[in-house]
Chain A
Amino acid sequence: DTAVSQTPKYLVTQMGNDKSIKCEQNLGHDTMYWYKQDSKKFLKIMFSYNNKELIINETVPNRFSPKSPDKAHLNLHINSLELGDSAVYFCASSQEVLAGGPASTDTQYFGPGTRLTVL
């Protein structure tokens, strides 16, 4: 009954490969997110989808392409992996459709993370 799940937990791959990370939430939330946490533990938002629509797209290389087949899933596909892509990637979700405005009191639920190592 995991709320936000990610697969795989660990991913080791060669530079230049293409890989995907999957995320699913069973909380019925409308909004999902991808974050990247680097080796210094700095956590930065990459993307956000609300009900399958892209809402936030930070300055991320276009080698990263999120895909949301339905509001319970947000997958992350990465093309032509580079050494600098090595990090822990976290998926998260939040409930409030009106999240983000001044009245927002919503919180985010995080998945366990996917540790990506590019060799």
Chain B
Amino acid sequence: SQQGEEDPQALSIQEGENATMNCSYKTSINNLQWYRQNSGRGLVHLILIRSNEREKHSGRLRVTLDTSKKSSSLLITASRAADTASYFCATDEGIQGAQKLVFGQGTRLTINP
């Protein structure tokens, strides 16, 4: 079953602006991860936040996690044209030996030059 709901489904902003994407999930998790998918390509891991963390930064990325609300947000600051892609959150519900990533439906981000 689909775990994550992402909001918005599509986002179009001007280069240099900040982009915020939200993700909600339903069950308890080990961690939550964000991935990027460029058109016609595979997914690339961006950042992971553990269930006992509230905020994490990586370069221009900032991720927050609120386990009480079962939600996460991804902020991309000072956006660039190369950030144009689909962004997916994924929750890890895995068992020993393998992750079981359950993905949201993604946010399509378009950065206009």
Contacts and interface: CB of A to CB of B under 8 A. Distances in A.
B18 interface: no
A55 B97 contact: yes
Interface in B47-63: 48, 50-51
B43 A105 contact: no
B81 interface: no
Interface residues of B toward A: which range?
A: 20 to 34
B22 to A, nearest CB: 17
A103 B31 CA distance: 9
Interface stretch (A61-69, A75-83, A90-98): A90-98
15 contacts: A31-B98, A48-B98, A56-B95, A56-B98, A56-B100, A92-B43, A98-B96, A98-B97, A99-B99, A100-B94, A100-B97, A100-B99, A101-B94, A110-B42, A110-B44
